[in-house]
Amino acid sequence: MTSPLSIGQPRPRRNRRSPALREMLAETRLHPARLVAPLFLKADNGPSEDIDSLPGQRRLNATDLTRECEALLKAGVRSAALFPCTPAGLKNDTGTESLNPDNLLNTTVRCLKKEFPDLVLFADAALDPYTTHGHDGVLDAAGDVDNDRTVEILARMAVRQAEAGVDYVAPSDMMDGRVKAIRAALDETGHHQTGLLAYSAKFASAYYGPFRDAVGSATAKGYLDKRTYQLNGANTREALHDALLDETEGADILMVKPAGVYLDILCELRRRTLLPLAAYQVSGEYAQIHAAARQGWMDLHAAMTESLLAIHRAGADLIFTYFAKAAAQLIQS
Ligand code: PBG
């Protein structure tokens, strides 16, 4: 008996019958070169330290950092974003260590550029790793972040990072006018080739929790309130407006962050800019997948791949992710 469906029934499943067909018809594909590995730097020469809230990630000492970069390149990952863990003794209210040409970040950049000239390096321009209060800028008398004083410091910090040899300075602070000021400072000092990746639509998010643990910027443990400068998760238009200002001010790449809970913003921004787009799958996104996998509630590799594919599909050319090495190795295998 032929079933009533058998004649002329559209059958999309035909195209999904075998691995070869599924592979042939895949609309989005992850490539290791699209992944950027965030790496945490440890100051002294002691042993590297595990980060409890980011399974598999460590604060790396110099030797382990070299090994990690070798492993990344071997897996096909071409770029890393560096985050220094500044010793408490070097932090103060105004984050002056950020301007030290020989601080942990700048010294590390110089070493890595010698060892791995082809590894693309991103450095955050923001004050939070250097301030005792953990905010991304200096505070005014009322305790809010002082926009213009902060921007001045960021521009000087960016020049130091460019001198050290970073490929992209990445302001992650969300101050007004910082892209313009940093671009001008870089150009005035002859760093025309240093790029600017702007954390353009960066939302105030609980998903940054494990990162703040990792770099030790979580003085107010759990949730440090950055809502006077980071975006409100309720707002699409405001996010697009702020992101497009960064384009006008001279950014080379725009970023949406976090990625997974803001895919709609990514998708919308993709339609409105011709610039490359990056998305940051942040620490909390990584941690929640690991936590569920540890309980046996989700498959780690499948969830990792699916989450990254979604970010790419929504419009990200580049994905900052703590899964970079693992995902690249899986793609290669
Ligand atoms: C700081 C900065 C943060 C992250 C990257 N740069 C945290 C914050 O804004 O508080 C978060 C990254 C992550 O959670 O993985 N400017």
Task: Cite the DSSP H helix spans in 236-298.
Answer: 236-249, 263-272, 283-294
Q: What is the pLDDT of residue 11?
A: 95
HSE on the CB side for 253, CA within 13 Å?
24
> Quick one: which of 73, 294, 287 has its CA closest to 307?
287
Look over the chain and give the mean of its residue pLDDT values, rounded to a whole number.
Answer: 95
* HSE, side-chain direction, 13 A CA sphere, residue 76: 14
Q: Is 40 in the pocket of ligand 1 (CB under 6 A)?
A: no
Structure confidence at residue 146 as a pLDDT band (50, 70, 90) = very high
Is a pLDDT exceeding 80 seen at residue 164? yes
* Protein residue whose Cα sits closest to atom 16 of ligand 1: 172
CA dist 283 and 276 (Å) reads: 22
What is the C-alpha separation between 100 and 107, in angstroms, rounded? 10
Give the residue, out of 51, 282, 319, with the most ligand 1 atoms within 8 A of its beta carbon, to mutate for a pocket test: 282
C-beta separation of 83 from 214 below 8 A:
yes
Whole-number Å distance, alpha carbon 52 to ligand 1 midpoint, is 17
Chain centre to alpha carbon of residue 219: 21
Beta carbon of 97 within 6 Å of any ligand 1 atom: no
Query: What is the per-residue pLDDT for 140?
Result: 94
Inside any domain, residue 2:
no
Count of domains observed in the chain: 1
Mean pLDDT of 223-228: 87
4 domain residue, yes or no: no
Whose Cα sits closest to atom 2 in ligand 1? Answer: 172
Question: Per this entry, what is the length of the chain?
Answer: 333
Structural domain includes residue 40: yes
Does the N-terminal peptide bond of residue 258 adopt cis geometry, omega within 30 degrees of 0? Answer: yes
Q: Tell whether 76 is covered by a domain.
A: yes
Rounded to the nearest whole angstrom, what is the distance from the C-alpha of residue 248 to the centroid of ligand 1?
24
Q: Is the CB of 215 under 6 A from ligand 1?
A: no
Residue 229: inside a domain, yes or no? yes
Give domain status of residue 93, yes or no: yes
229: left (phi over 0), alpha (psi -120 to 50) or beta: alpha
Q: Using 50, 70 and 90 to split pLDDT, how confident is the model at 218?
A: low
In this prediction, what percent of the chain has a pLDDT beyond 70? Answer: 98
Residue nearest to atom 12 of ligand 1 (CA): 282
Q: Which amino acid is at 140?
A: D
pLDDT digits over 6-60, tens only? 889 999 999 999 999 999 999 999 999 999 999 999 998 899 999 999 999 999 9
Residue 138 has pLDDT above 90, yes or no: yes
Task: Flag whether 10 is in a domain.
Answer: no
pLDDT band at 223, cuts 50/70/90?
Answer: low
Using a 6 Å cutoff on CB, does residue 124 contact ligand 1?
yes
Range of the domain at 119: 30-332
Q: What is the pLDDT of residue 4?
A: 76
Question: Percent of the chain beyond pLDDT 90?
Answer: 92
Catalytic positions are: 202, 257
Q: In this structure, what CATH number is given to the domain that contains residue 283?
A: 3.20.20.70
pLDDT of 268-285, one tens digit each?
999 999 999 999 999 999
In a domain, 246, yes or no: yes
Q: Which atom of ligand 1 is nearest to the CA of 136?
A: 16
CB of 126 sitting under 6 A from ligand 1: yes
* 285 in contact with ligand 1, CB cutoff 6 A: no
Q: Looking at residue 137, what is its pLDDT?
A: 95
Q: Report the pLDDT value the prediction gives residue 219, as an integer from 0 to 100.
A: 59
Query: Nearest-CA neighbor of 239 among 257, 222, 252?
Result: 257
